[in-house]
A = this chain, B = another copy of it.
Amino acid sequence: MENHIDENEKTSSVFSEAELEYIAPRSHKTGPSLLSRLGNRLRCSGQMAKSLLFKFIPILYWLPRYPFKEWLLGDIISGLSVGIIQLPQGLAYALLAGVPPVFGLYSSFYPVFIYSIFGTSRHISAGTFAVISVMVGSVTESLVPNDTLVVTTNESLSDTGGERVAVAASLTFLVGIFQILLGLVQFGFVVTYLSEPLIRGYTTAAAIHVTVSQIKSIFGVSITQRSHALSLIYTIVEICSKLPQTNIASLITGLIAIGVLFIVKYLNEKYYSKIRIPIPMELITLIVATGISYGVNLNETYGVDIVGTIPVGMKAPVLPRSDLFPKVVGNAFAIAVVVYAFTISLAKMFAAKHGYTVDNNQELIALGLSNFVGGFFSCFTIGTAMSRSLVQESTGGNSQVAGVVSCLVILVIILKAGELFETLPKAILAAVVVVNLKGIFKQFLDIPMLWRTNRIDLLVWLVTFAATILLNLDIGLGVSVAFSIITIIFRTQLPHYSVLGQVSNTDIYRDVARYAQAKEIPGIKIFQSSCTLYFANADLYANAVKSMSGLEVDKLIAMKKKAMKKQKQMEEKNEKLKKKENGLKHRARDQSEKEKEQNSIALKIPAVIEKEIVVDYEVIEEAKQGFLGNGNIFHSLILDLSTVNFLDTVSVKILKNIFRDFTEIDVTVYIAGCHAMVLEQLEKANFFSKTITKGQFFSSIKDAVTHILNTQSLTPEQRNEIFASTKL
């Protein structure tokens, strides 16, 4: 007994290390430090090249260390389950992509196999994916609107039809190239622009596109292909107008299939904990429907559209048609990013759950190689389907071996059993597609959730949804990304400005308008903006400071300017009078009897001037009190810049103006909580001068307040002297 445990322990210990190693070298995020450490370890044995090889071809690393005993059974069961799902999904999504069903089988084989070799996620199921397929479909259908030919034999592919297949393959090839390039230049981060609300709004809209495109198969009507803006609306209108031509047999087939699939899906989810391996109802439906269709001859008797000839055997690789590249390059880039966004979010989810890491850039390269190779074998673009990945994980899949097993299932179908499905009604495939969208449609629940939690993200969701519905999947995506970037501007364009007060007996300062406990400190105004300061809100900031200070700063400055002007005039007059006086004195030397009189004038003038000036400055002080009320006069203004992330030239200028204006009306301005980076930018921008010194900068509001209270009794001039002599 004891022995057995120890043995087990040993095996798993060995693997434990292996497994951890297997995670580590591909963890790009921790990047240089890890690599350099790895390097140090490996350089001695000259195995640097080997570690690079392991990084780019992960299978070389993990396969020799694969714990057959522990994982193989799970992987095989999981692989079979996934393979059985790949078959109907492959056939169905091929219709979404606008190509004959057999290409869905190819797409479920070649690229999936390649992904198993290069991928770093152990639980995602690469393969056909509804959203991507419909994106491909929008390209094939817009470039080849009338490719209604159903391929009948292998040979006819090249000459009679397959134009759409060529488009899809060229597109897939380019998607692969883009992904490989993005991976090599380590640009995986582009995906961060596809924020979660955007992705969810986008997929919800895509699901509606998919559903509408399948309705025609279920109703058995034929619809004009459209790819312009608002095409979804036109298509819905056309479907409604063609409802009288519904093929009843097709509709019944479709509805029954949807009903059955839906119920079994529900049961599978409900009793998942008991049965572990889900009932492969899609496959059963396919087989039963094909059988009935063959028996009753649905196609000829009732005009039900069927899948048609499925060629048996492999196809030789064909070079993607380079003449199509310019037409699909834009879409290829969009699809490349979307595929990656879905894959990486799913991969990260599983990695977090199972405690391993995936390498962002290696994932890009793996997907890229899959699609690149797929492009040679007439595949359409693959991604990762969430539902299938969940099956792969929950049925016990532990590694990419499950993917390889699922490929073998598809290979057998391609080589031997494909033709069995020739009489399968297309309505069944449409049903498979629609039922698989259930999870995506649940995303409509995001709307109330986001309404409660974050309305700007809700706006992103809704705009993305609307743009994708109305402008289709390509332009809609571009518009959505642009919009979600602009929301960052929204969020900083209208900040919340507040005057802070001290929460009694603490060092905490809070908005006085919202916290009753926060009280303003007499003589000090503390001002805070909720957002960073830059050109688009700098003006607002200055105005808010002025208006929330309660002073009509501009008016006070105008009064002061007026007073100064008057002072100057008076001085000039004084000067004139003095000259006159001097002249008089000069004359008076001889006229001593007038001397006394002149003196009295000379004495009088300065008195007049002084009175003049005093009166005017008093007016300003009075005006200040008028604005604020007697008790609220303040002599210090603290600007809390802790929310400021960076400063541009416009905001530096605005800050300078605030210093200038408030200094003009004898209010000293202090800065609190300015971050080191921002301080550096201020230095570079020549912000500091004789009148604005670093002595006015404090690391926290508390420090600034303490300083102000200590120097309160000083005059502004004395304070300025202190600043001039202080250095931070």
Contacts and interface: CB of A to CB of B under 8 A. Distances in A.
Contacts of A352: 657
B491 A645 contact: yes
A532 B555 CA distance: 36
Interface in A1-23: 1-2, 5, 9, 12, 16, 19-20, 23
B649 A196 contact: yes
Given A530-B677, A536-B193, A559-B20, A547 B31 contact: yes
A491 B562 contact: no
B649 A496 contact: no
Most buried by B among A356, A450, A453, A685: A453
Interface string A258-283: 00000000000000000000000000
Given A30-B546, A547-B29, A5 B573 contact: yes
A355 to B, nearest CB: 4
Interface stretch (A102-110, A409-417, A471-479, A504-512): A504-512
A554 B357 contact: yes
A558 B189 CA distance: 24
A193 B535 CA distance: 7
Interface in A462-485: 484-485
B488 A558 contact: no
A560 interface: yes
Contacts of A684: 452-454
B562 A649 contact: no
Interface stretch (A128-136, A537-545, A713-721): A537-545
A457 interface: yes
A463 B680 CA distance: 25
A495 B9 CA distance: 46
A555 B31 contact: no
A301 interface: no
Contacts of A12: 566
Interface in A641-658: 642-650, 652-653, 657
B357 A676 contact: no
A184 interface: no
Given A530-B675, A700-B700, A454 B648 contact: yes
Contacts of A486: 485
A301 to B, nearest CB: 53
A561 B645 contact: no
B648 A457 contact: yes
Nearest to A507: B700
Most chain-B CB neighbours within 10 Å: which of A33, A531, A649? A649
A625 interface: no
A552 interface: yes
Contacts of A601: 1
A24 B356 CA distance: 67
Contacts of A491: 534, 645-646
Nearest to A529: B645
Contacts of A29: 543, 546-547
A231 interface: no
A192 B676 contact: no
A608 interface: yes
Nearest to A687: B453
A686 B449 CA distance: 10
A492 interface: yes
A675 B509 CA distance: 10
Interface in A353-373: 354-357
5 contacts: A12-B566, A356-B558, A454-B647, A454-B681, A510-B676
